[in-house]
Amino acid sequence: MSERRRARILFLIPEDWYVCSHRLPLLRGAAAAGHEVVVATRVADHAGPILATGAELVPIKQRRGFRGPLQELAGLRELIGVYRRQRPDLVHHVTPKSVIFGTLAARAARVPCVVNAMAGLGFVFTSSSAKARLLSGPITLALRVLLRGRRTRLIVQNADDAAFFRDRIGVPSAAVATIRGAGVDVRAFAPAPAEPPGPLRVVLVARMLGDKGIHEAVAAARLLRDRRDDIRILLAGRGDPENPAAIAQEQLDAWAAEGVVEVLGHVQDVTALLRSCHVALLPSYREGLPKSLLEAAACGLPIVAADVPGCREICRDGVNGLLVPARSAAPIAAAIERLADDPALRRAMGAASRRLAVDEFAEEIVVAATMALYAELLGKDA
């Protein structure tokens, strides 16, 4: 198969909102490279932006999370049927469940090329819960079998994850490509002309999950509230009830009522929010490469983040932000307080964040790397 041949590329992404938040540049890049683009996803209310890229949209019923055997078997049959009807030359799977079920479907439908993207390790490998421990063995075995093949590639977003899949899962190094994140539109996300006035506003943009460090952020906010009144911590992001680590809306409402943090929920205009804040915060337990921090960096914000895989890719300690130990509130509070008391340090780190976003993480860089990977696979002899 020549790499000049117009290929049919199918993306399997579990939720349409995630397609829009993370993958639209990739869809546009594949179309610009001359490929036919198909997106298989669970369609709720984000079909318009997907169709606007020129992609064909295929609604599916499969949901995130592992359910009963009968439901999962039905979901696998659905994917096999989609792949056989669409006859893609290459499939690109996003999220662990999509990787497992999509690769099984691709093999059943004899899809020539498979790209599996793991944006972090997910609940199974980051949680210490009994459910996660129960699932980790079977999922490890499934990944060890499925993430192999001459025309199969695994995309990870940081060096730590590359080492994890090589050493623990047993994926050959040649089958792993490190492409750092989903990229950021550095034109849409740009710094404000000057810092906003008023109290220091620290914003945490993420899904409201425990493993994003939300509980630690709230505890840090309490520590800060006890000793000063010039710092505000904002939580911005949608709930995710299908995720086992989801924080209940009742808990979020209780924090808001207490006044310890401002709970904004889903924010449509993230650019405006970031430009109204002074510092970005993400005390997550582990990430692939968090888009929220990429967007904050592009907006010229200094960052406070947990010293964990993914976060330290974009938060360079002492350069554009401060790294703190994961799962601990006091260091978060201390780092925020340091930035609150040193405007010159905030400005210097914010400028470094912007340079980093432009030079290393602009979406054009990520799209070009992914298109090169497609060309490599599609250009291989069948």
What CATH number is attached to the domain comprising 274? 3.40.50.2000
**pLDDT one-digit tens code per residue, 180-225:** 888 999 999 999 999 999 899 999 999 999 999 999 999 999 999 9
pLDDT higher than 90, residue 240: no
**pLDDT one-digit tens code per residue, 365-382:** 999 999 999 999 998 643
Considering the domain architecture, whether residues 124 and 163 belong to the same structural domain is answered as yes
Is residue 369 included in any domain, yes or no?
yes
Considering the domain architecture, whether residues 215 and 322 belong to the same structural domain is answered as yes
- Look at residue 138 in the predicted model and tell me its pLDDT: 74
* Percent of the chain predicted with pLDDT > 90: 77
Is residue 17 included in any domain, yes or no?
yes
Considering the domain architecture, whether residues 213 and 252 belong to the same structural domain is answered as yes
Residue located via tokens 């506003």: 201
- Look at residue 148 in the predicted model and tell me its pLDDT: 82
Which token pair is 87? Answer: 């006859």
Number of domains in the chain: 2
Considering the domain architecture, whether residues 71 and 125 belong to the same structural domain is answered as yes
Is residue 73 included in any domain, yes or no?
yes
Q: DSSP letters of 211-266?
A: GGTHHHHHHHHHHHHHH-SSEEEEEE----TTSTTBPPHHHHHHHHHHTSSEEEES
Mean pLDDT value across residues 54-71: 83
What is the spatial distance between Cα 102 and Cα 316, in angstroms, rounded to a whole number? 35
Considering the domain architecture, whether residues 123 and 247 belong to the same structural domain is answered as no
> Containing domain of residue 106, as a range?
8-183+362-379
Is residue 3 included in any domain, yes or no?
no
Is residue 129 included in any domain, yes or no?
yes
pLDDT higher than 90, residue 283: yes
Considering the domain architecture, whether residues 110 and 224 belong to the same structural domain is answered as no
Considering the domain architecture, whether residues 173 and 83 belong to the same structural domain is answered as yes
Considering the domain architecture, whether residues 236 and 347 belong to the same structural domain is answered as yes
- Look at residue 2 in the predicted model and tell me its pLDDT: 40
Q: Which amino acid is at 308?
A: V
Considering the domain architecture, whether residues 352 and 289 belong to the same structural domain is answered as yes
What is the spatial distance between Cα 211 and Cα 66, in angstroms, rounded to a whole number? 19
Q: What is the pTM assigned to this prediction?
A: 0.86
- Look at residue 70 in the predicted model and tell me its pLDDT: 85
Show contacts of 336-345: CB within 8 Å, 24+ apart: 336/200, 336/202, 336/220, 336/224, 336/231, 336/233, 336/279, 336/281, 336/304, 337/224, 337/228, 337/231, 339/200, 339/278, 339/279, 339/302, 339/304, 340/200, 340/228, 340/230, 340/231, 343/195, 345/302
Q: How confident is the model at residue 1 (pLDDT cuts 50, 70, 90)?
A: very low
- Look at residue 182 in the predicted model and tell me its pLDDT: 85
Strand partners, 281: 304
Considering the domain architecture, whether residues 204 and 347 belong to the same structural domain is answered as yes
Mean pLDDT value across residues 259-288: 96
Nearest residue to 267 (alpha-carbon basis) of 232, 238, 247, 299: 238
